[in-house]
Amino acid sequence: MVDVQNDFCHDEGWMGKGGRNVSLRNVQAMVPRLRRFIDAARDRRTPILWVRGAYDEVFLAANQREMIQRRGYGRASCLSGTWGQEFYILQPKEGEVVVTKHRADAFEGSNFDGILKSKGIHTLLMTGVTTECCVESAARHGFFLGYHVVLVEDCCATYDPALHEGTKRIIDEYFGVVAGAEEVQ
């Protein structure tokens, strides 16, 4: 479950205040479906790994800083210890792993791969936000590392439906399988 955080999903978060459509038609509409999917996974004792971003200045690469400045964002999103970094509505339960990442790709510079291997996980059921950025980045990297990738398309969301559709096509064509939550359960 990738980046379902206040800064990316809440009206008052970094993206919402920045003019992105986090409305009940897009990102926020996906969360109840994701909750049902997570509940079903828990019932089946399927491991859930919660991925969250932390984009503090100390972690930013020069190209990230340049992009933030060029686009006029002011600061990065999901600063450590802030409300914006907290998970939006959904919360991990005791014993569920939380992975903190500092790039769009959950594997890059984190212990994500090691955790998956230590749990004997070979298939990734990818959910979260945003479909075309953080979810797709992790899905591609996971595929390159040898994981079987399933994009649970109705448990992913973005601010632009065309980008969501584009990622579905890319994953299905090159990097895995696209399925709905009902098909996976």
Token pair 């953080």 is found at 134
pLDDT band at 19 (very low <50, low <70, confident <90, very high): confident
Residue 60 lies in a domain: yes
Single-letter code of the amino acid located at 152: V
Edge-to-edge, what's the strand order for the sheet holding 148-157? Answer: 123-129, 148-157, 177-179
Dist. CA 99–CA 102, nearest whole Å = 10
* 58 domain-assigned: yes
In degrees, rounded to 5, the angle at the alpha carbon of residue 132 between the alpha carbons of residues 129 and 137 is 90
In this prediction, residue 23 has a pLDDT band, given cuts at 50, 70 and 90, of confident
Is position 151 within any domain?
yes
- Count of the separate structural domains present in the chain: 1
Range of the domain at 58: 6-184
Would 73 be classed as within a structural domain? Answer: yes
How confident is residue 24, by pLDDT bands cut at 50, 70 and 90?
A: low
pLDDT at 13 over 80: yes
Burial class (CB in 10 A: 0-12, 13-18, 19+), 38: buried
Look up residue 94 and give its two tokens.
């005791």
Provide the CATH number for the domain around residue 174.
Answer: 3.40.50.850
Instruction: Measure the CA–CA gap between 49 and 107, rounded to whole angstroms.
Output: 12
Indicate whether 102 belongs to any domain: yes
Residue 79 lies in a domain: yes
At residue 46, what is the residue type? T
Residue 118: pLDDT over 80: yes
State the pLDDT confidence band at 16, using cuts at 50, 70 and 90. confident
In the predicted structure, residue 4 carries a pLDDT above the cut 80: yes
In angstroms, the CA 139 to CA 153 distance is: 12
The pLDDT assigned to 22 comes to 84
Residue position matching structure tokens 């600063």 = 79
Write down the pLDDT at residue 67.
87
Answer whether 135's CB lies under 8 Å from 127's CB.
yes
Instruction: For residue range 72-109, list pLDDT tens digits in order.
Output: 788 889 999 999 999 999 999 999 999 999 999 999 99
Asked whether residue 13 is domain-assigned, the answer is: yes
- Residue 1 covered by a domain: no
pLDDT (average), residues 137-160:
97
| 70 confidence band (pLDDT: 50, 70, 90) | confident
**pTM attached to this predicted model:** 0.95
* Higher pLDDT among residues 164 and 185, named by residue: 164
